[in-house]
Structure 1
């Protein structure tokens, strides 16, 4: 084979790579309909938030005892899922695990969307959101709430940079190839590509910056969920008064984030026709990774309940009996069974690490992860140290109101909209990184 023939094959393979990945961005009517649906849901649910803003938090199910309800459970869940960016792009990236290349950008998109909405959920939980700035102006260093705001903001900034910087070479390609893009989008591509032409110096500096961010985001990612756990563990409430909440929350976040990534991988593989890039191998590897993180999470779950159950203090006794045998038993055991135990048993078998089975398992894991956060937040607040007395009966129970449920739907729809829009305007699979990995030569023209 002469050099001209070899060069032609290389160019054609890179052309195919570009066409396969950029095609869904240019013509995908189903995606546009999905965006319209999400915008409609958000518009309808925004009315519910307006009612809450107008009439106060009294329209929710929260009262004096359960002052943290559905919203805080959502906040913990969104923070958990966002940790997948740090797990895939940074930890596995620093370990030079090469199979993550086609899915790393999807992980970062999920991270950016969910951590951004996590910050918004806190504002949705406030009766006076106009006072959120007081946290920064008058915040005390002793308060874990100030730490939480700080690490969430920092994690969002670094995650956004980790999404954009590796995308710079691809955006330089989009600037040239996306001829049907709107003038605004073309300008976005032009600005964010920063005049990149893949010179050796540009390539070296870009990868140095990316590696620096990959190192920085690891402690920040661990801190974001550790600090969130401290909001609970720094109290004396039964069910929260434990020293393992930090690593316990981090392990649970890896499980929820990995499951969310698997579902997103399946969606983009099928709807974007990316079977050549998001292959069965990636689902198999993610299945093995999920088994590993589920085993760690199972270990912390055993620790969380075995130690207080062995000592069985009076307050812990009431709390644990309600979880294990009382009114919360169905939700508690369902979250443990479908979110941890069964996924481990099933995904040990290679047949369940195929795309469709592992996607279905991941859906159960995500749902169970949300219910687990709900079980962490609500039952503990219903079991204060002092007896609940001289209050109306509805203070002794907690049921989310229709307003709370609508605002919760709003937050989920917003996260999905962010992911969808980012997937619409940016390549979800890295073009140049895959070309580098496969040894394909390419040029990027100014």
Structure 2
């Protein structure tokens, strides 16, 4: 009898697993048949910036911000509000950490202010997302830099680095209270492994682990967000000439020097983190002449170099060698598995794990030769993918089926954007004149 009950129980569990795993999903954009239905239409709460997007755009928190206007759109369990920001905290810079920018991580928002006549950030302020007000403000010393810990810690780091020392302060991102303060002596700098000083200025992910690094001419340390204590990494081969950018990607810490004035030579070093016996990934170092075909010449060095351009795209890293970009696989991380592109070619990401090879006067193509075309037929080289099956080409919006035929077309006056998540019900929001319109997928009749 007991054995029979166990059989019935096991059978019930299997039924639940099967129905849970294989139950039919609802309609979703990109399934080849779902079409858009208007889910909401509201007056534009805040106009986008010159590029058609917003400096603050968090679909998770329902926030849109540009200039001195910051709004939270009403939603299920979410009260809407509108906040007129002080001029000091107007959001106009898309680069978090610079003056007039914002750090946004989930529902956590820290504004970075700027004042006329002053270079760099002047103060930081934390947002209360429920009440729609600035909850705290912290004045910054001239020359300070601001960092946000990305890995789940509600910490803001303020670094005031001088020639002989670096003052570090950790603040609670919700309350603005000081959690710790310390001073590191000597020629110490703080580099952001996520944004300004990263080799990958894409949205932080599990592969590109974020956090500030303490850097000296011969050492690198991570900084504990709870205590401020540095952990100096051992066994690193720090490149000569000083580290200019740093990123932890996969199992490697990758460091690069700045292009030398006149010669444009750089050194890139990749060092394994947490080395295990039998690990096939290896440390490597390469010195080459830096040349980014898509970049103008930087006045100080005379090199084609744009510090804001990412080297990581999808699953690969491209070293911009003048002889031809050298592509190193992210998960293997060894030069022995590298591949050289033709002169003038470089990699760009498009939101997928398969990056795109681009060159002036040539059509885009995938790094993986067996992958489908970059864009469906009939779209220009400027077309961008909003979400699965949904494309924006200038003002034109188009949803395509699996054969590349239009299921729906419209025109947007801003950069359309997708909602959170990738499952059924993922929405697309766009601008119809003075209205902000959200579309949801429904089954075609």
Q: What range is the shorter-chain TM-score in? A: under 0.3
Larger strand fraction of residues: 2
TM-score by length of 2: 0.23
Larger helix fraction of residues: 1
